[in-house]
Amino acid sequence: MLRVFIALGKQLPKNKAMIEDTEEVAKLLAKYNCTMVQGGAKTGLMGTVVTEFQKYSDEVVMIVPEVHKSDLEGTKSKEHYIVEGESDRLKITINTCDMIVVLPGGTGTLAELAFYNETCKSGEHNAKIVMVNTKGFYNKLFKFCNHQVKNGFMKKEHFMFEVINNAKQLEPIIQQLITEKQAKLNVEQVSKEAVVEDAKKVAKVKPLKSSTSKQAKGSSKKVTKTSAEPKQVKVETKNNQASTKKATADKKVENVKKEVKTKTSVTKKVATKKPVANKSTINKSAKTTTKKTDPTKSKSSTKTVKPEVNTSKVKDSKKTTSKVVKSKDDKKQTTTKKVVSKK
């Protein structure tokens, strides 16, 4: 079903042919089950086209600016929209309509024609623009368009509208648009059905399921590998802990060995030291010293030996040796006295 916007004046023209063409357009749209989109006015040619169309169909859509919302009073429409301004209404029409029919009208109609021409030239829409030049109403406009072309402001290919002389010439254009739209719909339907059939075929193919399952299996294997990784990390950490423990134990053993070595060295030094002599041994050493040296030199001999003993014991031993020496001297004196007396 085509959506057709009608651009025309809000006043009734003096020429009745323009009214007749307006009524003929409304009949053709109703004949081909088109939806008529209109600005909502109930007066002039706008009111004429709506009343004539509603005699045969109720597929009327009203798009009215808020300033002119009173135009909706007394009109019957399947849908109606109240927009902020004229520009909003024009944007809605280029986005929703398949064809735009321009009938005789005033400056508002000319503004709509210029807007639809420029937006079609820029590619914002591809709606068909048809001008109904009833009784040559737009001839002077076309002369001005040629004047723009001569002065280099426009090109002939920039005029995006088609011109017809009466409403009856609009019928073949409507038929052509209907067939083109139906062909597009058929192509879209076929493409949708083809997509659905392809989806069904893909769903029935078994290798795809197996491949997906293989992929799933592969993914599960990968997951297991990744799950094993933290275990290896744990083992490594345990090994690191064990190595650190061993290192500390080895250090402890080395420390113990060092302590043992120091103790053994101390014991060896102690063993090398000369033991402290008893009194009897001291007396014997004192005798040997008296035979060879004087009693005064015994002190130096004892100093040279320097046995590592307690000083108190050494002093005691010196005292004892001195006493022994004195006693021996006394004996010598006594023996000498005896010898002298014998002589």
Q: Is the pLDDT of residue 298 over 50?
A: no
- Average pLDDT of span 95-124: 93
Residues with Cβ within 8 Å of residue 30, at least 6 apart in sequence: 53, 55, 56, 57
Distance of alpha carbon 19 from alpha carbon 29, whole angstroms: 16
Q: 3-185 in CATH: which number?
A: 3.40.50.450
**Partners of 128 in the beta sheet?**
99
Helices and strands counted in the chain (H then E): 10, 7
Note the pTM of the prediction, 2 decimals. 0.56
pLDDT of residue 197: 72
Please give the pLDDT value at position 78: 75
Gap between the Cα atoms of 307 and 273, Å rounded:
7
Instruction: Render 19-61 in DSSP notation, one character per residue.
Output: HHHHHHHHHHHHHTTPEEEE----SHHHHHHHHHHTTT---EE
Which of 47-51, 88-92, 251-255 has the least mean pLDDT?
Answer: 251-255
303/286 Cα distance (integer angstroms): 14
Q: Is the pLDDT of residue 106 over 80?
A: yes
In the three-class reduction of DSSP (H, G, I as helix; E, B as strand; rest coil), residue 171 is classed as: helix
CA distance linking residue 169 with residue 167, whole number of Å: 5
pLDDT band at residue 145 using 50, 70 and 90 as cut-offs: very high
Domain residue ranges of the chain, discontinuous segments joined by + = 3-185, 217-247, 274-324
Instruction: Note the pLDDT of residue 132.
Output: 96
Residues with Cβ within 8 Å of 13's Cβ and at least 6 positions away in sequence, in order, are 19, 45, 104
Which amino acid, 335? Answer: T
Residue 22 has pLDDT above 70, yes or no: yes
CB 279 within 8 A of CB 320: yes
Q: What is the pLDDT of residue 87?
A: 86
Distance CA(166)–CA(92), nearest Å, equals 27
Extract the tokens encoding 112.
């709509």
CA distance 33 to 196: 31
Residues 6+ apart with CB under 8 A from 2: 32, 34, 35, 98, 99, 174, 177, 178, 181
Q: Is 74 helix (H, G, I), strand (E, B) or coil?
A: coil
pLDDT of residue 30: 94
Tokens of 198: 């392809």
Q: Which residues contact 90 (CB under 8 A, 6 or more apart)?
A: 112, 115, 116
